[in-house]
Amino acid sequence: MPKILLIEDDKDQILMYQTKFELSGYDFIAAEDGPKGLELAEKENPDMILIDLLMDKMGGIEVLEHLKENPKTKNIPAVIVTNLDKHELAEKAMALGALDFIVKSKIPLREMMARIEAHFKK
């Protein structure tokens, strides 16, 4: 089963995603901040990384930059998952190498899951 790493500082969001992904058959790991996420990405070598944008210790764009600069993590697909619906942030994330930019508040969870699953089929 594919392994997904979620980098998200909201514990309720982590629990929601963990439940959904594990019920869908994914291996799921989570980090509550950017630095821990970078460490786990290197150690666990997940098949995909989901990154929240707004986090205290290190924002999602900075996390993405570090992931793409590190030879061990640069080829891991990364998806930004956020409530911030800002076109300029989406453009920046995609320019840095994000696979997708999903605005959580705009689509139901099942549609978001379908988009993520579709990336595994490419």
CA 18, 21, 26 angle in degrees (round to 5)?
Answer: 115
- pLDDT surpassing 90 at residue 1: no
Res 17: pLDDT: 93
Q: Domain map of the chain by residue range?
A: 3-121
Which CATH superfamily, name and number, covers 3-121?
Response regulator (3.40.50.2300)
- pLDDT surpassing 80 at residue 81: yes
Res 67: pLDDT: 98
Whole-prediction pTM: 0.94
- pLDDT surpassing 80 at residue 20: yes
Q: What is the pLDDT of residues 107-120, one digit of tens each?
A: 888 898 899 988 88
Q: What is the pLDDT of residues 83-109, one digit of tens each?
A: 888 889 999 999 999 999 999 888 888
Q: For 115-119, which contacts have Cβ atoms below 8 Å and span 24 or more sequence positions?
A: 116/4, 116/48, 116/50, 116/79, 117/24, 119/48, 119/77, 119/79
Token look-up 């594919």 returns 2
- pLDDT surpassing 90 at residue 70: yes
What is the phi-psi region of residue 25: left when phi exceeds 0, alpha when psi lies from -120 to 50, beta otherwise?
Answer: left
